Amino acid sequence: MAKKAPRRTAERIAAVTLELFNRFGEPNVSTTMISSELSISPGNLYYHFPSKDALVNHLFDQYEGAMLGLLDAAGDVQDIEDAWFFLHSLFEQVWNHRFLYRDLNNLLSGNRHLEKHFHEVLERKTHALRMMLESLAAAGLMAIDPDSVETLSASMAVMVTYWLSYEYVRDPRRAMEPESAGVALSRGARHVLALLSPYLSSAELRAHLNALSAAYSETAAS
């Protein structure tokens, strides 16, 4: 059997950098640390990525492509299960590039590429959540007026965007570690979905939402 070709150096650099950024935070990871982790020279690193910002931008572009592809599916949400899956998938994308959210304000203040594009992702995220709410209302699952749709979609976007910051403040030593992923994602999705509860059109739907949240929480904790 033919051996698999080794990953290109640029791909290895990006993968290891993402792992280090996610675990320790972008400000705490230097290019020297990255090249040491990869056992390559700093010159080799700079050949592929001439600056740390170039690495950040490359990783953000990966995140942006994955997130926008997911947001395009918001109109397919037809019921509470779909809404849960969609929101959990949003949190998975956030988790995969959690360094962006952990150090968001710092990154935006010093990187023009992120300043422009993260704003666009936020707008698309809010629009996708609005589409989800409108789809649930059209299916008769929610009783909500247009003004409340605008307010609720913005509130949900804020919670998705800053949930990991909340998790980090609660437990700075462990919140960003890989083993925390299941609980963090489930808890975030559960709290965002809880915002829907007052608008659901029946007590049965609210009970179903609570049962769904409890079931996913138990799975994540096990």
Q: CA–CA separation, 57 vs 121, rounded Å?
A: 14
Per cent of the chain over pLDDT 70 is 94
Q: Which domains does the chain possess?
A: 1-50 (1.10.10.60), 60-221 (1.10.357.10)
Per-residue pLDDT band for 187 (boundaries 50, 70, 90) equals confident
Burial class (CB in 10 A: 0-12, 13-18, 19+), 222: exposed
| 93, β-bridge pairs | none
What are 22-49's pLDDT values in tens digits?
A: 999 999 999 999 999 999 999 999 999 9
Q: CA 79, 82, 87 angle in degrees (round to 5)?
A: 125
What are 206-218's pLDDT values in tens digits?
A: 888 888 877 766 6
What are 99-134's pLDDT values in tens digits?
A: 998 888 889 998 999 999 999 999 999 999 999 999
